[in-house]
Amino acid sequence: GQSLEQPSEVTAVEGAIVQINCTYQTSGFYGLSWYQQHDGGAPTFLSYNGLDGLEETGRFSSFLSRSDSYGYLLLQELQMKDSASYFCAAPNTGFQKLVFGTGTRLLVSP
């Protein structure tokens, strides 16, 4: 099976940098994705790491270390609109389904 663990909640102030961690246990591994979900909305894709290292997409970056079964999402120059839930996710063996992490609720304050 698969499990992806995240901290339940992270708080930060506008303009700050925040890191959301994800540790995983999978029988096979095919990369780690990150999604943002605002309350009542659908998940939206943020970033993907298929290989070790850092992927940068604007204010958001994502990092993966397959040897440590660990990844993180880095959000820079935080804005109020970044307050949302963030999920790491990974496909299972054979890409038959996408499994989501436990989710992290980010609260950005003025």
Partner 1 sequence: GAVVSQHPSRVICKSGTSVKIECRSLDFQATTMFWYRQFPKQSLMLMATSNEGSKATYEQGVEKDKFLINHASLTLSTLTVASAHPEDSSFYICSAEFSRGSNYGYTFGSGTRLTVV
Q: Where along the sequence are the contacts to partner 1 (CB under 8 A)?
A: 33, 40-45, 48, 87, 95-103, 105
Q: Measured from the CB of residue 71, what is the shortest distance to partner 1 in angstroms? A: 16
**Closer residue to partner 1 in complex, CB, 75/101:** 101
Residue 5 or 14: the one with the smaller Cβ distance to partner 1 is 5
Helix, strand, or coil (residue 27): coil
The widest CA-to-CA distance across the chain, in whole angstroms, is 44
C-beta closer to partner 1: residue 14 or 95: 95
Residue placing its CB nearer to partner 1 in the complex, 40 or 110: 40
Minimum CB–partner distance for residue 50 and partner 1 (Å): 10
Least distance (Å) from partner 1 to the CB of residue 81?
18
* Burial group, residue 41, by CB count within 10 angstroms (0-12, 13-18, 19+): exposed
Question: How many residues are recorded in the chain?
Answer: 110
Tell me how far, at minimum, the Cβ of 42 lies from partner 1, in Å: 4
Find how far residue 39's CA is from the centre of its chain. 16
The shares of helix, strand and coil residues in the chain, as percent rounded to the nearest 5, are 5, 55, 40
